[in-house]
A = this chain, B = another copy of it.
Amino acid sequence: MDLFKAMQERRSCRDYLPEPVSEEVIEKILEAATWAPSPLNTQPWEFFVITSKEAKGKIFDEANRCRMWALERSGWKWLDSYQIDFLQQAPVIIAIVGDPKKTGVDMFMEDGNVAYQAACAAAIQNMHLAAHSLGLGSLWFTLFDKKVVKEILGIDQAKNPVALICLGKCVSEPQKVPRKNVKDKTTYIR
């Protein structure tokens, strides 16, 4: 698929069909992730591919707990009716796990180890685009306590599950999300 078309068309999917995704397709999406750039080519990512109903159920419970916590903390009322059933519905969830030690000179800087997280985010964007071009929907999810997700998935304590990506066929084409005009976001220093 054309690159610009994929970028422009790709949207977050919140409703998944149960149809499984083949491991061949999953591997293509993960390979796309690894083509992202990273600080000093450290490739700080790892992938946990979750198709187990039990594990998805535990993730759903944790996300729900976190949703209620966030509702109380923030007062953001939309969280009260925010449906996260996609965590149980999606045939696959991929946890992107970053290694804070695989980063650049940012580890010596004020904001700490951030470059490895940026690299993981770039890898995630590649995954979204790859998924879309392979006819799949995807969703970037971060409403969870990292410690709990580490425990559920058996992730090394020293590593950081930066996001969960839902993957699968969408029930229907996701709604278009408007973007602000880029000209209003740009300053030229000529």
With contact pairs A47-B186, A49-B188, A105-B143 given, residues A4 and B32 touching in the complex (Cβ less than 8 Å): yes
Q: CB-CB < 8 A to A126: which residues of B? A: 7, 125
Q: Name the residue on B nearest A123 (C-beta).
A: B125
B48 touches A189 (CB 8 A): yes
With contact pairs A4-B130, A76-B105, A177-B41 given, residues A188 and B51 touching in the complex (Cβ less than 8 Å): yes
A90: Cβ under 8 A from any B Cβ: no
Q: Name the residue on B nearest A32 (C-beta).
A: B7
Q: CB-CB < 8 A to A130: which residues of B? A: 3-4, 7
Of all A-B residue pairs in the complex, the 6 with the closest CB atoms, nearest first, are A121-B121, A122-B125, A118-B121, A125-B125, A70-B105, A7-B35
